[in-house]
Structure 1
Amino acid sequence: VNVTLLLPAIQLRYILVLQCTSHFARNLSACHCLRSPKKRSPYVSVDSERYSSLVKTVMSSRVSSRTPETIQAEDENIFGPVVKTQTPSSRQDTRVPKTLHPFLHHEETVDPEELEGPGRSFVPSVTRILQQTLSPEQIFYLERWKKRMIAELGEDGFKEYTQNLFRQGNVFHSAVEDILTSGATQQEYPPDVQGYMESISHVLEDVRAVRAIESTVQHDTLNYLGIVDCVAYYRGVLCVIDWKTSEKPKPFLSNTYDNPIQVAAYAGALNNDGNYKYQVENGLIVVAYKDGTPAHAHQLSSELMLEYWNTWLLRLEDFTEQR
């Protein structure tokens, strides 16, 4: 066979095969594209700038907290500007008393007998000293509460409200004094304090061996005095007991504000008062509720009492400098 004659025919067949293969490949690719189109990312259509600002807004609102400055701005819009107050500073410097007066008077011997002392000269009370040495933050929130109460009740209504609170407190303390003095477990109480007495009933079950009730104590060296609600054993520990009433729950010691300082001041005065022949290193704050809800009893260990005693010395120094 003449190869030269067959060569053009072979080349033509090869070219036809290549064309058919290329055409089939193009058709197959087009068919695949039609059946399985490329998916478009859903994030392409998102407004990234708007989404970013939205995320920042949400995150900032979750981590931010209300401060006295923002609260004051809100109150000014609703109630008008707050007068006679200043915004508290967030900076808190650590201070120590210039003179560390002893909390206990070790020369006294432990004796359950209490001796009544003679009449006492006029000296500032623990309550007065604490009221006149409030921090700017405490003053801010106290005046804010007062302003909102006046806006709700009016001047006369707020005055009547505070007088009722004071009267209920006196009746409550008298009822507690009666039950601790008489030792009776079942008594009839005025309607205003019935709920309070029910609230502290479980606490009274653990109070034993009362040493003092509504007794005046005085610290001659530091020149202050106070009236102790009660000194008694609570669950086997001798304590200065302070009875409080509250309209809101106070489940934590921090909710009682300056009350621990007050108790430490009373105990320090008692320990240095010659009319009391025993020492008290522990405290107890009992918060009673008008609706009869079980009272919260906050115990102050001897270590905590020493901490609050040093805080009391600082407040006393501030009061002395003011005078």
Structure 2
Amino acid sequence: MFILKRVGCVGSIMVPQCTSLFVGNFSACHCLSSTKRHSPYSSVDIERYSSLVKAVMSSKVSSQTPENLQEEDEHIYGPVVKAQNPSSRSEVRVPKNLHPFLNCEETVETEEAESGPPARILLNRGKYRSPVPSVTRILQQTLSREQIFYLERWKRKMIAQLGEEGFQEYSQNLFRQGKLFHSTVEDTLISDATSMDKESSEKAEYQPDVQGYMESISHVLADVSAVRATESTVQHAELNYLGIMDCVARYRGVLCLIDWKTSEKPKPFLSNTFDNPIQVAAYAGALNSDGNYKYQVENGLIIVAYKDGSPAHAHQLSSELMLKYWSTWLLRLENFTEQRCSFIQSLNPNQASLCEGS
């Protein structure tokens, strides 16, 4: 018996085939009989899944994210249908305590004379840490699972690139640059408020670490006027939280609570600023209830500055948006209070009364 081997093509997979030529009384039984085990993959529809094999083999691990993994999964198996309780489909959570954003006893002043140096109320830290939680602390401890996932993934990625010590140094440099940037902006705003010659501040030279950031916000500073407060403490006595707001001033004629941010990546949309709008609304709500300030703020402004000097993005928050984020802030505040009460009760069940009415 003569055995000829040839190669057949099925889809994109090369499959060897065996062809027998019979001579005389010889049979092909010897060619067909084999001691090799039957492969479970022989029944797979190779032509159907060849494109999937190519896609998996050619993909880079670093490009895989939860989003595109979900897209690939839905492309193969169809969209995931999540079971939902029919009674909760249309349910929208609202704060238990719908505390007003504005102080009804105060009028929203728009024509008040705005002169003199900006207010700067320092936080009295004292010898011990203040028992009143800060806005930053509340937001950090009430992050969603999705936010925590992406923060942890980013941290692991940076540690893999820089190492533990390198990441610590990187974080410290970011904090130092941010602090220096805020201090420089404050000095510039105070200088503008007390000087009649605004052009002198535009020609000022800044430290190298903040030179790019200040160049980035130069076009924004040109539209900022009538500065009322900088780096000043606000406290909401009824809701029991405090914070240090960056600035209160008029931006293009509208009184705003302004928050200065730095970023290594462009943030052209408000959605790119994550929890920053909630933070601005929380500061504004505290200011409106704080007796140290004789005016009300309905609008917000988030300025994102870039180290390379590219023009900063200015995200304005209208009074309608501020009310929306104020409601979100009240929910985050409730979550924080519930977490703190659960922690206190786990330590001492007899202290459950401390959480009543909070």
Q: TM-score range by the shorter chain?
A: 0.7 to 0.9
Name structure 2 gaps, 5 residues minimum. 1-9, 12-44, 56-63, 71-81, 193-200, 341-358
Cα distance in 2, alignment partners of residues 97 and 66 from structure 1: 34
* 1:58 Cα deviation after fit: 10
The match for 1:287 is: 304
Cα distance in 1, alignment partners of residues 203 and 234 from structure 2: 31
Cα distance in 2, alignment partners of residues 231 and 211 from structure 1: 5
Which residue, 212, 216, 224 being the options, matches 1:195? 212
Contact 1:240 1:263 in 2 (8 A): yes
The match for 1:126 is: 135
What is the one-letter code of the residue matched to 1:162? S
Q: Spell out, residue by residue over 1:243-300, the C-alpha distance to the aligned partner (whole angstroms, 9 max, x if none).
A: 0000000000000000000000000000000000000000000000000000000000
The match for 2:323 is: 306
Which residue, 105, 109, 119 being the options, matches 1:107? 105
Which residue, 223, 226, 232 being the options, matches 2:249? 232
* 1:116 Cα deviation after fit: 5.2
Which residue, 150, 154, 169 being the options, matches 1:145? 154
What is the one-letter code of the residue matched to 1:165? L
Q: Tell me whether 263-272 or 178-187 shows the greater mean CA deviation.
A: 178-187
Partner SS state of residue 280, structure 2: helix
* 1:94 Cα deviation after fit: 3.2
* 1:53 Cα deviation after fit: 5.3
What is the one-letter code of the residue matched to 1:244? K
Q: Spell out, residue by residue over 1:166-209, the C-alpha distance to the aligned partner (whole angstroms, 9 max, x if none).
A: 00001101110111110122211100000000000000000000
- Percent identity, aligned pairs only, is 72
* 1:122 Cα deviation after fit: 3.6
Cα distance in 2, alignment partners of residues 228 and 264 from structure 1: 11
Partner SS state of residue 100, structure 2: coil
Decide whether aligned partners of structure 1 residues 268 and 155 sit closer, same or farther in structure 2, where only a CA change above 3 A counts: same
Cα distance in 2, alignment partners of residues 222 and 282 from structure 1: 21
Cα distance in 2, alignment partners of residues 90 and 204 from structure 1: 51
Q: Spell out, residue by residue over 1:218-263, the C-alpha distance to the aligned partner (whole angstroms, 9 max, x if none).
A: 0000000000100000011000000000000000000000000000
* 1:56 Cα deviation after fit: 8.7
Please state which structure has a larger fraction of its residues in helix.
Answer: 1
Which residue, 156, 173, 181 being the options, matches 1:172? 181
Tell me which structure has the larger Cα radius of gyration. Answer: 1
Cα distance in 2, alignment partners of residues 140 and 107 from structure 1: 43
Partner SS state of residue 250, structure 2: strand
What is the one-letter code of the residue matched to 2:325? Y
Alignment of 1:1-323 (within 5 A): 66-67=65-66, 70=69, 94-109=92-107, 110=109, 111=112, 119=124, 122-183=131-192, 184-323=201-340
Decide whether aligned partners of structure 1 residues 305 and 50 sit closer, same or farther in structure 2, where only a CA change above 3 A counts: same
Q: Could you tell me the TM-score, scaled by structure 2's length? A: 0.66
Cα distance in 2, alignment partners of residues 68 and 196 from structure 1: 32
What is the one-letter code of the residue matched to 1:209? A
Cα distance in 2, alignment partners of residues 185 and 66 from structure 1: 44
Q: Spell out, residue by residue over 1:130-169, the C-alpha distance to the aligned partner (whole angstroms, 9 max, x if none).
A: 0000000000000010011011100000000000000000
Partner SS state of residue 161, structure 1: helix
What is the one-letter code of the residue matched to 2:160? A
Cα distance in 2, alignment partners of residues 313 and 254 from structure 1: 19
What is the one-letter code of the residue matched to 2:205? E
What number of residue pairs does the alignment pair up? 259
Cα distance in 2, alignment partners of residues 220 and 321 from structure 1: 18
Partner SS state of residue 255, structure 1: helix
What is the one-letter code of the residue matched to 2:310? T
Partner SS state of residue 202, structure 2: coil
* 1:107 Cα deviation after fit: 0.8
Name structure 1 gaps, 5 residues minimum. 1-45, 60-64, 72-88
Q: Whose relative contact order is higher, 1 or 2, with alpha carbons under 8 Å and at least 6 apart? A: 1
Cα distance in 2, alignment partners of residues 198 and 319 from structure 1: 38
Contact 2:299 2:322 in 1 (8 A): yes
